[in-house]
Amino acid sequence: MVGIVINRLWVLCCAAVALTIFVPIVRTQQPLAGGEAALNSTEINHRNADYEYEYDAEWPRLNRTLGSVSAVAFDPSGNVVIFHRGRHVWNLLSFDQQNRYLQEKDGPIGESTLLIFHNESGALVGEWGANLFFMPHGLTIDRNNSYWITDVALHQVFKFDLTVSSTKPVMTLGVRFEPGKDHEHFCKPTSVAVLDNGDFFVADGYCNGRVNKYSADGRLILSWGKNSFVLTRTFMLPAGPIPVNFFAIPHALTYAADKKLICVADREQGRVQCFNANNGAFHSMYESPRIGSRLFSVKYIPRDGGLLYVVNGPQFTTAEPVNGLVMSMTSKEIVGRFFPEHAFSNPHELAVSEDGAQVYVAELNPHKVHKFKRKSSLPEIPTPILDPAESKVETFPPSDQPVLYTGALTTIPIVVSLVGIGCMVVCLFRTFCVKSRGGRRQRFSTPSENISLREMGEDREA
Ligand SMILES: *[C@@H]1O[C@H](CO)[C@@H](O)[C@H](O)[C@H]1NC(C)=O
Ligand SMILES: *[C@@H]1O[C@H](CO)[C@@H](O)[C@H](O)[C@H]1NC(C)=O
Ligand SMILES: *[C@@H]1O[C@H](CO)[C@@H](O)[C@H](O)[C@H]1NC(C)=O
Ligand SMILES: *[C@@H]1O[C@H](CO)[C@@H](O)[C@H](O)[C@H]1NC(C)=O
């Protein structure tokens, strides 16, 4: 009897799951001119007046096919560098349940994975990085033109100084092809941010959900953060807002030097979390209904009190368009936007010039890098140079605005989605947790990139 009831519930669950997936798909099929949300044109013009961008379809001038472009960054001369995956594709066959890379035997990517372009002309001015990497992820270039690279297949972080060698890194962290969570190992590390004194942060990453800080010589000096993937959260965390130090993939980092903050793109929780760069203490959170529930990357520029440039991603449960947005750190309002002619599909990383005049977005699929130029140049606002000793970290109260997608969703889809999500959780719980009680690491997959799950009980480190 009980069995029959459970079976019925199972059918209902699956119907609800199907609806949950179906409803957002139907909604996104509606024409979204250039990625417009449910805002009227007055609102759009008003909200985006300050930082409007136009798309430069002619950039770059490239005579070859790119792979998935995972990252883009400025070098100190103002060139734009991209990091791409060549013929390698991150799919369900790339990793096993323990996050070990399965395609090592195919060898590293044979072509140049790093391409250097002139920011104006779009001409290719340099290239390197052949036969070194397996699954490129993050790229950061510091003020001394050192390249900081993360490879999620190798589970390693590299520092390359091209004046020394373009084939041998000057620093390597992590153990080749070995995922782990201790002082020696990473698990699919995503991103690096470098301070002016050479200290650096690593976002680690898909499975560990932590941020580590290192001294310039590579000593671990600080670590914080826990993995809060939605399933884990549902069962292990108390009800209420997601705690500030829980990440569902810390996917990109940006350093706000004038504020002494390290900010993290908390990808599957659709928010930017900023922390005191000295001690890792939580400082502030940034989110918006216009970003939605997924946020792939963030970059900071010190203009107008601090601006965060973000790219969101394809949404699972809402109909927010995939685009780039500019958020003011002081008002937490969206003050600008950038998107290509035919909207983004899978933007993954971005680079912004210090003055905000140029924005570049790396896209996994289609394999592209996009350039945007600010339409109107604003009068130069001198940014006060604060003496480091006197500089004061501004404090903002954590955002307590409820995120209701009333602009984009009607009541019925909201109800259906809530029921569906609830049931999906039960379904997945039945599938995974019930049969592997006290479960080890588990896995959930999305079309573009995989998400590793980890029971929080396993977390041992502070
Ligand atoms: C657009 O939205 C604004 C603010 O919500 C409102 O004042 C205005 O009347 C709306 N305009 C149209 C054409 O709907
Ligand atoms: C692009 O490639 C074609 C064929 O490989 C070659 O003929 C042409 O000169 C190349 N153009 C540039 C600008 O490199
Ligand atoms: C673009 O490159 C030129 C050098 O070729 C440089 O002077 C300029 O600052 C760069 N622009 C940006 C926004 O970095
Ligand atoms: C750049 O090099 C100088 C001199 O070696 C050093 O003092 C500085 O910390 C370095 N900066 C970074 C970001 O590594």
Report the pLDDT value the prediction gives residue 147, as an integer from 0 to 100. 98
Cis peptide before 60 (omega within 30 of 0): yes
Q: Which atom of ligand 4 is nearest to the CA of 197?
A: 9
Those residues with Cβ within 8 angstroms of residue 344's Cβ, 6 or more apart along the chain or in another chain: 35, 311, 322, 323, 324, 361, 363, 370
**Ligand 3 atom nearest residue 120's Cα:** 1
Q: How far is the CA of 77 from the centre of ligand 3 (A)?
A: 6
Per residue in 211-227, pLDDT (tens digit) is 999 999 999 999 999 98
Binding-site residues for Ca(2+), in ranges, read: 72, 139
The atom of ligand 3 lying closest to the CA of 355 is 13
Q: Is the CB of 182 under 6 A from ligand 1?
A: no
Given a cut of 90, whether residue 11 has pLDDT beyond it is no
Q: Which of 140, 141, 143, 144 to mutate to test the pocket of ligand 4 (most atoms within 8 A of CB)?
A: 144
- What's the whole-number mean pLDDT along residues 87-101? 96
Minimal-distance CA residue to ligand 4 atom 3: 144
Task: Write out the two tokens for 243.
Answer: 């705690």
Q: Is the pLDDT of residue 20 over 50?
A: no
SS (H, E, C) the chain: CHHHHHHHHHHHHHHHHHHHHHHHHHHHHCCCHHHCCCCCHHHHHHHHCCEEEEEECCCCCCCCCCCCEEEEEECCCCCEEEEECCCCCCCCCCECCCCCECCHHHCCCCCCCEEEECCCCCCEEEEECCCCCCCEEEEEECCCCEEEEEECCCCEEEEEECCCCCCCCCEEECECCECCCCCCCCCCEEEEEECCCCCEEEEECCCCCEEEEECCCCCEEEEECEECCHHHHHHHCCCCCCCCCEECCEEEEEEEHHHCEEEEEEHHHCEEEEEECCCCCEEEEECCCCCCCCEEEEEEECCCCCEEEEEECCCCCCCCCCCEEEEECCCCCEEEEECCCCCCCCEEEEEECCCCCEEEEEECCCCEEEEEEECCCCCCCCCCCCCCCCCCCCCCCCCCCCCCCCCCCCHHHHHHHHHHHHHHHHHHHHHHHHCCCCCCCEEEECCCCEEEECCHHHCCCC
The average confidence (pLDDT) of the chain is: 79
For residue 316, what pLDDT is reported? 84
pLDDT computed for residue 343 by the predictor:
84
SS3 56: strand
Q: How far apart are CA 50 and CA 453, in angstroms?
A: 40
Identify which ligand lies nearest to the alpha carbon of 373.
3
Ligand 4 site, residue 182, Cβ cutoff 6 A: no
pLDDT digits (tens, 9 = 90+) for 103-127: 999 999 999 999 999 999 999 999 9
Q: What integer pLDDT is reported at residue 388 of this predicted model?
A: 43
pLDDT at 7: 53
Which of 140, 170, 197 best tests ligand 4's pocket when mutated (most atoms within 8 Å of CB)? 197
pLDDT at 315: 87
Q: Which residues contribute to the annotated binding site?
A: 72, 85, 137, 139, 206, 251, 267, 348
The pLDDT assigned to 264 comes to 98
pLDDT exceeds cutoff 70 at 246: yes
Minimal-distance CA residue to ligand 1 atom 9: 42
DSSP calls for 271-290? EEEEEETTT--EEEEE--TT
| Ligand 1 near 40 CB (within 6 A) | yes
> Hey, what domains does the chain have and what are their CATH numbers?
60-374 (2.120.10.30)
Ligand 4: residue whose CA is nearest its atom 12: 198
pTM: 0.74
Whose CA is closest to atom 12 on ligand 3? 78
- If one compares 48 and 279, the residue with the highest pLDDT of the two is 279
Cα–Cα distance between 79 and 406 in angstroms, integer?
Answer: 42
